Amino acid sequence: MVYGPFNARDARAVEVRFWLWRQIEPTYDKAWFVFSNDGRTFYGWWWDGTARWEEKRFDLTSRLAGDDSVWVGWMFESDGSVHYEGPWVDDILIRKYVPGTVTVRGSLSYADRNNNPAPARFTRVYLVDQDPGGSDDVLATTVTDGSGIFYFPAILNWDEDGTESNPENRRLDLYFVFEADHNDSPLSRRRVTDFSG
């Protein structure tokens, strides 16, 4: 049983899950899960012997993500001399994760000497992805315009150096830092994590 081709060019993660039950002759018979980039040459894993329902999970990101022609399949190989019940496969899930984009924009203002709101003009703004351990990544830099407005172009919402195995948890953890004058000391920097206001 082979499925494909499907396109994983835009995928940041590729995963296959299924349940396998087997009662096959050890050593001589094999239940295979395979994958391919061309539909002709397949690679994979095999099992023999007897086992009740087991969930099998395969992260194929390093092998299939970015490829536009992918196949997956399940195969039974037997020598034909001894006959057992065989393998069964159920609840197959083939998933590719394609993250969306995120756009960050806003405006900065401050209270002037008369306690009136004034736009923070020509203020440098850094867009940063927070990483565990404090090695945060600066993703982009911009400067506010004459009205205090800043805008970062859309970026892929995917943490390249994230360590989460679940692709749903590999999103960016964004905050921005602004400084009143890029020649000021580090004390002039302010970190903003509350985007609600």
pLDDT of 182 reads 46
Nearest to 120 by CA among 135, 132, 110: 110
Per-residue pLDDT of the chain (197 residues; tens, 9 = 90+): 999 999 999 999 999 999 999 999 998 999 999 999 998 999 999 999 999 999 999 999 999 999 999 999 999 998 878 888 889 999 999 999 999 999 999 999 888 888 888 898 888 999 999 988 778 999 999 999 999 999 999 999 988 888 887 888 888 999 999 886 545 555 555 656 666 65
Enumerate long-range contacts of 89-94, CB under 8 Å, 24 or more apart.
89/1, 89/18, 89/19, 89/20, 90/18, 90/19, 90/21, 90/53, 91/17, 91/18, 91/19, 92/16, 92/17, 92/18, 93/15, 93/16, 93/17, 93/18, 94/3, 94/6, 94/15, 94/16
pLDDT of 197 reads 52
The domain covering 2-97 belongs, at the CATH homologous superfamily level, to Galactose-binding domain-like (2.60.120.260)
pLDDT digits (tens, 9 = 90+) for 168-196: 888 899 999 988 654 555 555 565 666 66
Helix, strand counts (H, E) of the chain:
1, 15
Sign, Cα dihedral of 60, 62, 63, 64: positive
pLDDT of 162 reads 80
Residue type, 17: R
Which string of DSSP letters, residue by residue, matches 57-98? EEE-HHHHTT-SSEEEEEEEE--SSS---EEEEEEEEEEEE-
Nearest to 101 by CA among 139, 150, 153, 141: 153
pLDDT digits (tens, 9 = 90+) for 29-44: 999 999 999 989 999 9
CA distances to 26, 33, 74 from 30, in Å? 8, 10, 11
Averaged pLDDT score across all residues of the chain: 88
